[in-house]
Amino acid sequence: MKYDEWIDGMFNREQLNQFDLDWDEDWIQKLYSLSSNEILGLIAETFAKAGKDLRHFSDIQVALGLNCITNECREWLYWIYNDDASTSEQLAVINNIYVLYRDCLALRCSNDPVAESTTPLDIYAVMFGDASALCIYRVLKSNINDKEELIDAILSVWENTLKIANATCQRAAIHALGHEQFKVRQFHPGYERRAELLRRIDNTIDRYCDLSTTHEKLKEYALQARTGMIQ
């Protein structure tokens, strides 16, 4: 499947309801015939080119299409844990998440630091770190190689996303870091880098809160995330 066909099939669909878009069954069958490497390549390219290649689609099409790719209830992003996936392919997907936020979501999502996220695209952006199949917890549970490199890349994505001048992107990064902190602390007490990762997350949040440009509402949210108890 060519990249253009993937984009058209994933995003250029009619809306059935607020939760889903209409699928083309022939496209779905073709998609299931792809290898894990092909899927990961298409996902990485989608994230990298989202600012340009998704601009013709509506916010709801972008939100539901991206959700289909990344949500843990779906299976496309789970290919990153496949034994055949190389570290370079895995890192391409992870690193390009930041590009997705910088070039696409930051331009389309709300920049209101006070208002709660209500549009499908805002909700998708904020919940990425909570609902995605890609997180430190999943990496540690997997059998993949180079786990530490992938974990560092995941944290770097959220550290960099926190610097984007958009309130929804910052809220998304805070939300993701809060969940990562909670899961590492609660479910991996024997993990040898546990203290280091928790300290890294805390320091990232502290630096963000110390910035004069950080809105008080987002600072409150960040301090809540620092405890790992975040909704």
Query: Is 45 contained in some domain?
Result: yes
User: Would 167 be classed as within a structural domain?
Assistant: yes
Q: Is the pLDDT of residue 201 over 80?
A: yes
123 within some domain:
yes
Residue 97 has pLDDT above 90, yes or no: yes
Question: How sure is the predictor about 41, in pLDDT bands with cuts at 50, 70 and 90?
Answer: very high
Structural domain containing residue 31 = 3-226
- pLDDT tens by residue, 144-185: 888 899 999 999 999 999 999 999 999 999 999 998 888 887
Q: Is residue 66 part of a domain?
A: yes
**Span 103-154, pLDDT tens digits:** 999 999 999 998 877 899 999 999 998 888 888 888 888 888 888 999 999 9
Q: Is residue 162 part of a domain?
A: yes
Q: How many domains does the chain have?
A: 1
Provide CB contacts within 8 A for 105, sequence distance 6+: 50, 121, 125, 166, 168, 169, 172
What is the pTM for the complete model shown? Answer: 0.92
78 within domain boundaries: yes
Judge whether 231 lies within some domain: no
Tell me, yes or no, whether 110 lies in a domain: yes
- Proportion of the chain above pLDDT 90, given as a percent: 53
User: Which of 79, 175, 61, 85 has its CA nearest to residue 129?
Assistant: 175
